[in-house]
């Protein structure tokens, strides 16, 4: 009976993975179609005092751009060479590696430390420290990440004026350049996981096994461990949202930091109408999102043998 149940859950997981792959493919096609929308500006000069700028659009022009893009991919058997003369994939890999130094630590900090902080917040919910933590979580989660980034920069500038050893706040050249974007990018998803974990544990309080744990005199800590184990499924579901927030906020944070990573370069390639390079930079982001979904589903499959939702 257990083997049959295991087989059914494995089949359900495979179906979920195939569905995620189909969604990934549709998103990729949608991004390419949006990227190929005609965006070239046409300027018409009527006189020295009369100049009009227009962005003409027609389905014929749109179709022509799609055909040119398809022919280019087939002819080059890939993404071809960048304007610098190097292969697009090779050039994009440099920017992606820089961004990975921010993306992966931000994700781990948000998921692991955020979950632990949420469990601690729930454990101390009746104490003053727990109430203070809940208030600070609400306060910082209402601050936009770009404003927090600017505030941290300004604070560090003031501290350096007061004697703090000087270090560069902008750029990507130094080994520590990724730290400030990492901190700014991690705050909101970290607080989200903390609040979500605390709320998920609160919802478990009415379950029968919790009352049984307390009836046996095992105490709050043992009860918390049981509750946390049963909350793994909804917690892992948040991995997609956390990664989505990190990837969507990355371009702005990198631009504010002058950090020349994939996010900043993606914005530049889109505004400069370099569709091939924009696609080469967007593909790793989509792939990272896809891998996050797959790994979270596999983790749920192995960590939740009873299929608790």
Domain boundary residue, one of 77, 101, 131? 77
29 belongs to a structural domain: no
Mind listing the pLDDT tens digit for each residue in 156-208? 888 888 888 888 888 888 888 889 899 888 988 998 899 899 888 888 877 77
Query: Each residue of 58-93: pLDDT tens digit?
Result: 788 888 888 888 888 888 777 777 777 778 888 899
Residues 257 and 131 in one domain: yes
Same domain flag for 52 and 114: no
pLDDT of amino acid 11: 67
Whether 98 maps to a domain, the answer reads yes
13, part of any domain: no
Q: Are 265 and 201 within one domain? A: yes
**One domain, residues 68 and 151:** no
Residue 61 lies in a domain: yes
pLDDT of residue 2: 47
Residue 181 and residue 259 in contact, taking contact as beta carbons nearer than 8 Å = yes
**Which range marks the domain in which residue 211 is found?**
85-303
Q: What is the pLDDT of residue 9?
A: 62
From the first residue on, what is the mean pLDDT of each consecutive set of 10 residues in the chain (309 residues)?
55 75 86 82 68 72 86 79 78 92 94 90 76 72 76 85 83 87 89 89 79 73 80 87 92 90 90 86 91 86 56
Q: Looking at residue 284, what is its pLDDT?
A: 92
The pLDDT value given to residue 262: 92
Domain membership flag for residue 60: yes
State whether 128 and 232 are in the same domain.
yes
d(CA 24, CA 169): 36
102 shares a domain with 60? no
CB 231 within 8 A of CB 118: no
67 shares its domain with 95: no
Q: Are residue 146 and residue 272 in the same domain, yes or no?
A: yes
Q: Domain for residue 161, yes or no?
A: yes
Please state, as a whole number, how many other Cβ atoms lie within 10 Å of the Cβ of residue 147: 10
Residue 121 belongs to some domain of the structure:
yes
**CA–CA distance, 120 with 115 (Å, rounded to integer):** 9
Helix 262-271 vs helix 88-108: angle between axes, to the nearest 10 degrees? 130
Domains in the chain: how many in total? 2
> Which residues does residue 43 pair with via DSSP β-bridges, in sequence order?
53
**Together in a domain, 111 and 141:** yes
Listed in sequence order, the residues at least 6 apart from 242 whose beta carbon sits closer than 8 Å to its beta carbon are 107, 110, 111, 189, 192, 193
CATH number at residue 290: 1.10.3720.10
108 and 219 in a single domain? The answer is yes
122 touches 194 (CB < 8 A): no
**pTM exceeding 0.85:** no
- Measured distance CA(30)–CA(35) in Å, rounded: 8
Give the per-residue pLDDT at 109: 92
Q: Is residue 186 part of a domain?
A: yes
For residue 53, the model assigns a pLDDT of 65
Neighbours of 261 (CB within 10 A): 28
């Amino acid at each position: 009976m257990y083997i049959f149940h295991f087989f059914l859950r494995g089949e359900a997981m495979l179906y979920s993975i195939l569905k995620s792959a189909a969604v990934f493919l549709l998103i990729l096609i949608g991004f390419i179609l949006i990227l190929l929308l005609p965006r070239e500006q046409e300027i018409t000069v009527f006189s020295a005092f009369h100049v009009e700028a227009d962005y003409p659009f027609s389905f014929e022009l749109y179709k022509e751009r799609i055909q040119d893009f398809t022919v280019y991919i087939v002819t080059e058997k890939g993404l071809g060479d960048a304007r610098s003369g190097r292969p697009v994939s090779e050039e994009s890999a440099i920017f992606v590696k820089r961004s990975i130094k921010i993306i992966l630590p931000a994700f781990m900090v948000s998921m692991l430390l955020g979950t632990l902080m949420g469990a601690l917040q729930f454990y101390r919910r009746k104490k003053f420290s727990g109430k203070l933590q809940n208030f600070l979580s609400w306060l910082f989660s209402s601050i936009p990440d770009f404003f927090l980034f600017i505030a941290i920069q300004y604070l560090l500038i003031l501290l350096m004026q007061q004697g703090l050893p000087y270090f560069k706040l902008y750029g990507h050249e130094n080994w520590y350049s990724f730290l400030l974007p990492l901190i700014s990018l991690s705050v909101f998803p970290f607080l989200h996981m903390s609040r979500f974990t605390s709320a998920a544990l609160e919802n478990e309080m009415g379950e029968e096994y919790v009352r049984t744990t307390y009836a046996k005199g095992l105490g709050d800590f043992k009860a918390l461990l049981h509750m946390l184990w049963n909350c793994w499924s909804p917690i892992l579901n948040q991995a997609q949202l956390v990664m989505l927030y990190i990837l969507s906020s990355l371009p702005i944070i990198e631009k504010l930091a002058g950090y020349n990573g994939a996010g900043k370069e993606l914005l530049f390639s889109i505004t400069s109408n370099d569709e091939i390079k924009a696609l080469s930079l967007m593909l790793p982001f989509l792939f990272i999102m896809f891998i996050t979904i797959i790994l979270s589903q596999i983790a749920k499959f192995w960590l939740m043998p009873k299929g608790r939702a």
